[in-house]
Amino acid sequence: MKLFYSFLALLSGCLWATAQLQSFEPTSDISGTRFGSYVEITGEELVVSSSSSTDSPGKVYIFNTNLEQIQSIYPNEASIDDEFGSCLAVQNNFLAISASGDDTNGENTGAVYIYKKDGTQYDFVQKILAPDGMPNDNFGSSIKIQNGFLFVVADGDDSETDNFTGSVYVYVLAGDQWVYSQKLTSVTPQNWWSGGGAQLIMGSKILIYNNNTNLSISSSTVSTSFSLVNSLWEFQYSSQLGPVPGGGGPPTYDLQISEGQTFRIAEAEEGDYYFSVNNILPPWYSESFGFETPNWPNEIRFFRIYVNVGILFLGNANTPASTKRPVMFFKRIGTDWNYQSLFYGNGPENVGDYFGTSIATAGGKAVIGAPLEGNGKAYYASEAILKTDSFSKNTIEVYPNPVQDILKITNDIGDLSSVKVYSVTGKLLLAVESNIKEIDMTNFDTGMYFIKITTTAGTKQSFKVIKN
């Protein structure tokens, strides 16, 4: 057994390339399906929703960072098809929860429920309906709270124009109540559109920047900008973000603003994805730059970007339906963004889990949803995990883990000189003395293995891998 103990001692001093996230799910008042469909994080609380099933309504659950469930939320008046929990927003002790299928003022007119924290619990304070709601407006299709404003998207609203759909309702805080202030619609030049018909302009991405004096509301093709003037948002300009009839650039899948910079994820003509950073919108005119990323199959693409004070995630990857989804984690070191690790859920390798479909970051922490892992899971990444020195440089990566057949190896610190596979007893099972990119584990028995990788520069790393 001497070899086995020596091997474990070696592993204890190695850099693990994949952080261990903590999974959690409701422990009481379990209802609905697809837990992890929407997630939020604030202070020491994690907010996660489930979706309605045919016979069980979706609910919203509150957890502390010890992953203890402290509350479940569901209004008594709601019905299963109201889509309660279809979007979440939280800030300054207020929690806004969408029910975009609410039928109070007509079929699918939508509603937003407001809760305020009192001690350890969130108490109901208000139900908000659009002042001019019409059937299928989907009021609450997206929501955001920031700096005393509540923004509510109604992506089905077409009351203001014949050619464009979607609007954003703005509410301001007065005591404990949110009071309607104004309705924002697009004023996009019509010569941008050659085919006529309705186009969704007022998209679900709402960004406030420049010390809370500027507002951008974006879809995949157009960003509409407003400035705060005498407590009201005034239209400034619209800019193309992607292909529209008659011309335009690559589609924009997501935008984020953090610390005065705009981050954009878009698809270039050759099918690659890139990012752009600048200090003002629109980002279309900024100089783009690429992140250093590991090599993986070309079919994997990301459609969401999440940034918060030095940490960045790419999520909502498009993988085959029977494949687990990855989340890519970056960390800012100095002025540069450096790739750190891939995250995966703990579900079976050959089952799509939608891990990373929803991600929220705040205070150096993150929560990630995996709504199709069983009845749904959420994962918590603590500040200690995300900011540990073990992620301070790019390293070797092995994935997927657990693995069923092919274990892939990515490496950005030099060629590999050897790859060795050991059993849990320390027995050497496979040794390859070359710069390989993958290991075929199809014929290995189910169980745990240790992979030891050495580069030509002498760097050594070891990994614990589960074979399904």
Helix/strand/coil for 389? helix
pLDDT of residue 135: 93
pLDDT of residue 385: 83
| 454 exposure class (CB count in 10 Å sphere: 0-12, 13-18, 19+) | middle
Helix/strand/coil for 428? strand
The proportion of the chain whose per-residue pLDDT surpasses 70, expressed as a percent, equals: 77
pLDDT of residue 426: 74
Helices (runs of H) and strands (runs of E) counted in the chain? 2, 37
Q: How far is CA 438 from the centre of its chain?
A: 28
pLDDT of residue 179: 98
Query: Does 128 have pLDDT greater than 90?
Result: yes
Query: Does 429 have pLDDT greater than 80?
Result: yes
Query: What is the pTM for the complete model shown?
Result: 0.75
Query: Does 465 have pLDDT greater than 80?
Result: yes
Query: Does 360 have pLDDT greater than 50?
Result: yes
pLDDT of residue 227: 93
Least Cα distance to 237 among 301, 280, 272, 300 occurs for 280
Q: Name the pLDDT band for 390 (thresholds 50, 70, 90).
A: very low
Query: Does 258 have pLDDT greater than 50?
Result: yes
Query: Does 196 have pLDDT greater than 60?
Result: no
Select the more confidently predicted residue: 72 or 314: 72
Query: Does 257 have pLDDT greater than 90?
Result: no
Neighbours of 391 (CB within 10 A): 23
Select the more confidently predicted residue: 353 or 282: 353
The proportion of the chain whose per-residue pLDDT surpasses 90, expressed as a percent, equals: 40
Q: Report residue 46: phi and psi, to 5°.
A: -115, 130
- How far apart are alpha carbons 164 and 154 in whole angstroms? 13
Asked if the peptide bond before residue 320 counts as cis, ω within 30 degrees of 0, the response is no
pLDDT of residue 272: 43
Instruction: For residue 415, give the H/E element and its range.
Output: none
The string of pLDDT tens digits covering residues 153-193 is 998 887 655 555 788 999 999 999 999 999 998 665 544 44
Average pLDDT over every residue of 301-314: 86
pLDDT of residue 414: 72
Q: Name the pLDDT band for 291 (thresholds 50, 70, 90).
A: very low
Query: Does 430 have pLDDT greater than 90?
Result: yes
Query: Does 236 have pLDDT greater than 90?
Result: no
The total number of residues shown for the chain amounts to 468
Helix/strand/coil for 35? strand
pLDDT of residue 376: 96
Q: Compute the mean pLDDT over every residue in the chain, rounded to the nearest whole number.
A: 80
> In the β-sheet with 336-343, what is the strand arrangement from edge to edge?
304-308, 311-315, 327-333, 336-343
Write the DSSP string, 235-269. EEEEEE-S-BTTB--SPEEEEEEETTEEEEEEE-T
> If you average pLDDT over each of 143-147, 235-239, 297-301, which comes out highest?
143-147
Q: Name the pLDDT band for 452 (thresholds 50, 70, 90).
A: confident
* Least confident among 111-125, 295-309, 400-414: 295-309
For residue 150, what are the β-bridge partners? 145, 171
pLDDT of residue 193: 46
- How far apart are alpha carbons 32 and 183 in whole angstroms? 33
The string of pLDDT tens digits covering residues 141-151 is 999 999 999 99
